[in-house]
Structure 1
Amino acid sequence: QLASETFQRRIDGFLAAPGKRRRIVIEVGSHRYRLKRRTRRDGTFFGTLTLPSDVLAGQIDQAARIEMRLLRAGTNHPVHVESTGDIFYAPPTGLSVISDIDDTIKFTEATNRKALLINTFLNPFVAVDGMAEVYRQWQHAGCSFHYVSSSPWQLYQPLAQLCMDHGFPAGSMHLRYFRVRDEMFKRFRPLRHNSKVAIMVHLLKRLPERKFVLVGDSGERDPEIYWFLARRFPQNVVAIAIRNVPGHPLEDKRLRKLRELGSGLTLRVFDAPAELADLVPALMHRVQAT
């Protein structure tokens, strides 16, 4: 199986040779923005853009998506375009869904190390039946989506393709920055949990006026992470939904801890995604009333 096309495609991003650190220009519509920092040697980069309201208004499509193009600094002709991508816009107010990926919308078997690696690198990605349909209903009700995973950023393409193939709503995707020299197999688990918490805290801080629904699963530490976030951001987190992973249901002790958060927070533990169909419409009335 190591010679399979799937494995070669999945592992390719981890094996890329280091390159030169480059200046990057991001083009949105007819506007160009030069990032202050060069790329890292692995080609990744971080930066902040401040887009004028007229640029946003002219570029946002129905999925709240803005197309951008990456150019090498100092070049102007379209032939020099390096890559294209999307920016997802969430208005200052409204309802957002922060959704875990592994074992929430995608079968991963994260509690089993061997199965986790096989499902990540060898097997075709498989979506959890019914989750895309529920999320589309929530999208039609007015939700924005943010997908969060401890998976390395090198797996962005197959994860994005899974979401597209199964009709999950478009949204921002937040993955873990990872380098092979970080000793993948030695430090895998602690890095995963810390990175997920940091990503979600960042989202909640950046969107302080929005309300959030946190969707995860019972397989690992989503209930504990979401309990922490609800305690830290009580005005923002309005609902938590936990999928019971077959063979690893949410135990009474963990459930009691979530229930201690109080009646102001809606809690759902579900086996079938259809059980969530009415969750967001009810929350929308609360959000619009505040």
Structure 2
Amino acid sequence: MSAGGENLVLFPTIAHQHKASGTWSADVHGWCFDGADDFHFQRTAASFLRRALKIDRNQPDPPFFRERAGGFVVENRKKVVIEVAYDRTNLLAVKTKRNGHFQTKINLTISDDSPMATTTFGAKKVSLTAIRKDCQIDQVGGCYLIPDQGLSIISDIDDTIKFSNVGNREELLANTFLRPFRPIEGMPELFNHLAAPERSFHYISATPWQMVRSVSQFLSEHNFPEGSVHLRKFALKDVTFLKKIFPAYKKKRKVVEDMMFRFPNRRFLLFGDTGEKDPEIYGDIARRFPDQTLGICLRNVSPDLPGSIRFRKAFTNVSPRKWIIFEDVLRLESQFLPEMLGTYQNQIDNN
């Protein structure tokens, strides 16, 4: 929500339950900023991005450009007190950092009478509210309640479910700032086939948080199952930011490992692509968490063949039945995923 130029954003997060007390610990993550006016936008975003995107200075803003570039030139609100609440009770105060972000955890006591919602596939979620009293604005955000047991689908976004062409920097920038976001053919339908009440979805990208609205809109418009979103913190300092904006291998590894530590009884199905470090990262994770890693699906966007030395090395000591390099989603639907889900069901039945 915004008031004047002031904005408050609450990102979609997750919560886990404490067995002893029955309470839930919910992640809170948001952003507080003042939107850039036209003059400020033109003197900042234009001076960096227009040159990189080869847009003539006399040409009007192309479609999508203002919407996606605007977040990089806002004035972040630091040391602002944000109150977070569930059901307008249990208020918790937190201050924003220099980058305008605020993060904390809030304990939720949820009963049968508590306000609750469900996703289209039956997973439970609650609404958290962030309140900024100094300018009388608030914002509601979703928090997904992740059961102790179940299946978690963690997916990269760029070149896994959204066409980005990360390997070509000019195309990557154009696909990010100038063109409509396009889903990879068959991926929305595949993810919806995977959706079920005890399953959760988590989307990871090296895209900066400044573009969270565009990313969330993409997921919603193309009917991907609801889930938490994990983007990258990024500060605009100088023109070199265009060279640093997308690589974020450590971020992806941290999100996946944190999930596995947090939910040791859940199984994880990991989606990524072969364009950068996903095979190496996911292979290492599968070796560290063999019981929790149900399967790894990697869309092939590299010249390496599925049986190449690179992939064999990345998945050393990982069962070949646990990973697949694919180009056609139909292969996943017809063979690999049914086997994975059959294995998962057998594990549930045996427990």
- Using the TM superposition, give the Cα deviation of residue 258 of structure 1 relative to its aligned residue in structure 2, in angstroms: 4.5
- Using the TM superposition, give the Cα deviation of residue 158 of structure 1 relative to its aligned residue in structure 2, in angstroms: 0.9
For residue 65 of structure 1, what is the amino acid of its counterpart? K
Report what 1:134 is aligned to: 190
Query: Cα RMSD over matched residues?
Result: 2.5
Report what 2:295 is aligned to: 239
Q: 1:106 to 1:248 in 2, by over 3 A?
A: farther
Report what 2:199 is aligned to: 143
For residue 176 of structure 1, what is the amino acid of its counterpart? R
For residue 160 of structure 2, what is the amino acid of its counterpart? T
Report what 1:12 is aligned to: 70
Q: Distance in 1 between matches of 2:198 and 2:77?
A: 42
- Using the TM superposition, give the Cα deviation of residue 174 of structure 1 relative to its aligned residue in structure 2, in angstroms: 0.5
Q: Distance in 2 between matches of 1:101 and 1:251?
A: 24
Residue 285 (structure 1) aligned with residue 345 (structure 2): yes
Report what 2:126 is aligned to: 66
- Using the TM superposition, give the Cα deviation of residue 93 of structure 1 relative to its aligned residue in structure 2, in angstroms: 0.9
Residue 48 (structure 1) aligned with residue 105 (structure 2): yes
Aligned to 1:157, which of 203, 213, 236? 213
Q: Distance in 1 between matches of 2:205 and 2:306?
A: 20
Aligned to 2:329, which of 266, 273, 287? 273
TM-score, normalization by structure 1? 0.88
Q: Distance in 2 between matches of 1:187 and 1:193?
A: 12
- Using the TM superposition, give the Cα deviation of residue 177 of structure 1 relative to its aligned residue in structure 2, in angstroms: 0.9
The secondary structure found in structure 1 opposite 2:147 is coil
The secondary structure found in structure 1 opposite 2:189 is helix
Q: Is the 8 A contact 1:219 1:249 kept in 2?
A: no
Q: 1:142 to 1:55 in 2, by over 3 A?
A: closer
The secondary structure found in structure 1 opposite 2:237 is helix
Q: 1:246 to 1:220 in 2, by over 3 A?
A: closer
For residue 108 of structure 2, what is the amino acid of its counterpart? L
- Using the TM superposition, give the Cα deviation of residue 74 of structure 1 relative to its aligned residue in structure 2, in angstroms: 8.2
Q: Distance in 1 between matches of 2:254 and 2:73?
A: 26
Greater share of residues in helix: 1
Residues 27-46 of structure 1: matches in 2 within 5 Å? 27-35=85-93, 37-46=94-103
The secondary structure found in structure 1 opposite 2:194 is helix
Q: 1:52 to 1:21 in 2, by over 3 A?
A: same
Q: Distance in 2 between matches of 1:279 and 1:150?
A: 31
Alpha-carbon deviations, 1:67-124, whole Å to 9, x = none? 222112589xxxx342221112211111101101000000000111111111111111
- Using the TM superposition, give the Cα deviation of residue 5 of structure 1 relative to its aligned residue in structure 2, in angstroms: 3.9
Greater share of residues in strand: 2
Q: Distance in 2 between matches of 1:202 and 1:28?
A: 24
Residues 172-187 of structure 1: matches in 2 within 5 Å? 172-181=228-237, 183-187=240-244
The secondary structure found in structure 2 opposite 1:106 is coil
Report what 2:81 is aligned to: 23
- Using the TM superposition, give the Cα deviation of residue 216 of structure 1 relative to its aligned residue in structure 2, in angstroms: 0.6
Report what 1:171 is aligned to: 227
Alpha-carbon deviations, 1:130-156, whole Å to 9, x = none? 001111111038421111111101111
The number of equivalent residue pairs is: 284
Unaligned runs of 5+ in 2: 1-54
Q: 1:40 to 1:55 in 2, by over 3 A?
A: farther
Q: Structure 1: which 4+ aligned runs deviate by more than 6 Å? A: none
For residue 104 of structure 2, what is the amino acid of its counterpart? G
Q: 1:45 to 1:283 in 2, by over 3 A?
A: farther
Q: Is the 8 A contact 1:219 1:245 kept in 2?
A: yes
Q: 1:223 to 1:56 in 2, by over 3 A?
A: farther
Alpha-carbon deviations, 1:225-264, whole Å to 9, x = none? 1011112222211211111127565561122125433338
Q: Is the 8 A contact 1:100 1:149 kept in 2?
A: yes
